[in-house]
């Protein structure tokens, strides 16, 4: 969705109110994809003057009860999103449309604000689940012991190979070294 400056919106609204062009022609003239956008600006200007065209700088928090009251008013009176927003001194009618959509899909629970961000770390970190409280069966204990013995055996084989011929072992397991700097002979 395109963002428009407050001055541009005011210019369009005044051109509509003073001129002979309708929403569609004004939208075409200024390259606005949807004439309904101009209609919302004009309605907001008529209700709140310049404040209706101003973008909110901070996020507002609305209680679940307020959201339900707004939606209930809209349903009872049959008012549009724009008229409902004006009635409740809200500058953004799409906010009400989002609330209505959430209420229709998920119910009142979805109107509650969701906690954003990463959850805090627990005060007591979890201990490895194998060592904690669970007693392993005899078969699981033997499998674990087998795995530890396999790891120990592999480690000892590599150690023996290194002790017998360190250069061959290092050449085999050498990691390629990449450098961005150019080597120069300064000798």
Domain carrying residue 80: 61-114
Tell me, yes or no, whether 181 lies in a domain.
Answer: no
Tell me if 82 is assigned to some domain. yes
> Residue 111 contacts by C-beta under 8 Å, 6 or more apart in sequence?
64, 67, 68, 99, 102, 103
* 43 and 71 fall within a common domain: no
Do 51 and 72 reside in the same domain of the chain?
Answer: no
pLDDT averaged per 10 residues in sequence order, the chain, 187 residues: 74 83 83 82 76 66 82 86 81 81 78 74 66 74 93 89 77 62 52
Residue 39 lies in a domain: yes
Question: In terms of domains, do 80 and 94 share one?
Answer: yes
* CA gap 120, 176 in Å, rounded: 40
Model pLDDT, residue 143: 93
Q: How many structural domains is the chain composed of? A: 3
Asked if the structure places residue 124 within a domain, the reply is: no
Does residue 82 share a domain with residue 48?
no
């Amino acid at each position: 969705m395109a963002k428009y400056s407050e001055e541009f919106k005011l210019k369009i609204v005044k051109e509509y109110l003073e001129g002979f062009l309708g929403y569609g022609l004004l939208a075409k003239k200024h390259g606005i994809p949807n004439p309904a956008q101009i209609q919302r600006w004009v309605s907001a200007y008529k209700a709140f003057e310049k404040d209706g065209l101003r973008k909110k700088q901070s996020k507002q928090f609305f209680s679940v009860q307020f959201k339900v009251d707004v939606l209930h008013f809209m349903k009872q009176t049959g008012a549009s999103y724009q008229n409902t927003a004006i009635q409740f001194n809200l500058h953004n009618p799409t906010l009400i449309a989002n609330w209505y959509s959430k209420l229709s899909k998920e119910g009142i629970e979805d109107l509650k604000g969701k906690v954003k961000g990463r959850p805090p770390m627990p005060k007591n970190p979890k201990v490895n689940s194998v060592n904690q409280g669970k007693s392993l069966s005899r078969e699981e204990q033997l499998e674990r012991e087998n795995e530890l013995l396999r790891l120990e055996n592999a480690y000892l084989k590599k150690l023996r190979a290194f002790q017998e011929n360190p250069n061959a072992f290092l050449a085999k397991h050498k990691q390629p070294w990449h450098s961005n700097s150019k080597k120069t002979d300064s000798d």
